[in-house]
Amino acid sequence: MSGTGDPKPPAGATAVGAVRRRHRGLRITAWVAAGLVLAGAGGAGYVYKRLDGNIHSVDIDSALGRDRPVKLGHGSMDILVLGSDSRSGANRAYGHDSGSARSDTAMIVHLAKGHKRATVVSIPRDTLVHRPACAKPGGGTAPAARQAMFNSAYAVGGPACAVKTVEKLTGLRMDHYVEVDFTGFKNLVDALGGVPLTTTQAIRDPKSHLDLAAGTHTLDGAEALGLVRTRHGVADGSDLGRIQLQQAFLKALMDRIRGLGLLTSPTKLFSVADTATSAVTTDTGLGSVGRLMGLAQGMRGLKSGDIHMVTLPVRFAPSNRNRVQPIPAKAAMVWAALRADKPVPADAFSGSAAGHVDAGKVVRPTPAPGAR
């Protein structure tokens, strides 16, 4: 198992984030950055500059222009959170680099007005969607495609195309974008000293470098990464089962953060904040510690129990059982609820293929000592 001590803030040049960073760290990054500033740690000016320099951002608004859904006016917020599966650079240890990254994990995080309640809608990466025409990062245009895999949007057009595809699918404007890559996620879990959880059965998947007996564990970064990536270790081996594992792990991760008492240890807080801000790529609207802090201040009362995690209602594609398609009427109920800032009705998920998978029962949080 891995963990970190309480290293002192290093003296030196500002660390610059790499071009691609990956998520599950939106709330982590926001919370610890806010906590550091509010705690009044020594050397606050240096610390602020250091963390600010870690964050890499992309200008989604300029890339997409005005042809987008209108912003909702009732105070809610929608954030597209992606985990990219690039195997380049430090991520090469997790597989072969095919030359382009794809979004391995996709979640729409809907923060209700007041940010006291949230709905997280996971989109299976193998979902067949209408991918709109997108500008390529290197120049030129990728033509629109019907029945394209959802994760191909990131591969052909990067973050802007992923956002554009989600907005086409949902009719909702994404207010913000957050991305974390393999290495960023692994380092973040290690900086937290691991994440406690309980597995109700053994999980073994050589492809994900995962071998967990049934019981209580504190997962280090490599083990946590294996857990959220495994398809073959539990349930039916589908992406739907993996999504349920990801959702269960996210709740355990949030409980871990709440139980750490970071505000009582400025050096530990700095270590986690430094790792978290280095782990993410955001849109320019969240591309500074100050902006993340503003978001965090509105989310401080949000607990894992206040978050409703669901999966887009889908059915298996008739032409390929390894692909899924949105169920139009059911998906429309999900998007309508988010648009109205209301809870998603349970009827939206009746008949969904995700309802026949129970991988989420395999993992449950094990609160760390002192967690509330």
- CATH number, residue 331: 3.30.420.590
Q: What is the DSSP letter of 20?
A: -
Does the structure show a pLDDT above 80 at 11?
no
Residue 67 lies in a domain: yes
Number of structural domains, the chain? 1
- Let me know the angle formed at the C-alpha of 16 by 15 and 19, rounded to the nearest 5 degrees: 150
Residue 232 lies in a domain: no
Residue 198 lies in a domain: no
- pLDDT tens, position by position, 269-308: 888 888 888 888 899 999 988 888 788 777 777 888 888 9
The whole-angstrom separation of Cα 339 and Cα 332 is 10
Does the structure show a pLDDT above 80 at 90?
no
**Which of 49-53, 110-114, 251-255 ranks highest by mean pLDDT?**
110-114
- pLDDT tens, position by position, 322-361: 899 999 999 999 999 999 999 999 999 999 988 766 666 7
Residue 214 lies in a domain: no
Residue 3 lies in a domain: no
Residue 19 lies in a domain: no
Residue 146 C-alpha from the chain's centroid = 26
Q: What pTM was estimated for this model as a whole?
A: 0.83
Is 275:10 a contact under the CB 8 Å cutoff?
Answer: no
What pLDDT is recorded for position 184?
Answer: 86
Residue 205 lies in a domain: no
What pLDDT is recorded for position 301?
Answer: 76
Domain around 294 = 26-192+264-355
- Let me know the angle formed at the C-alpha of 193 by 295 and 274, rounded to the nearest 5 degrees: 45
Task: Report the helix count and the strand count for the chain, using DSSP H and E.
Answer: 10, 18
Residue 251 lies in a domain: no
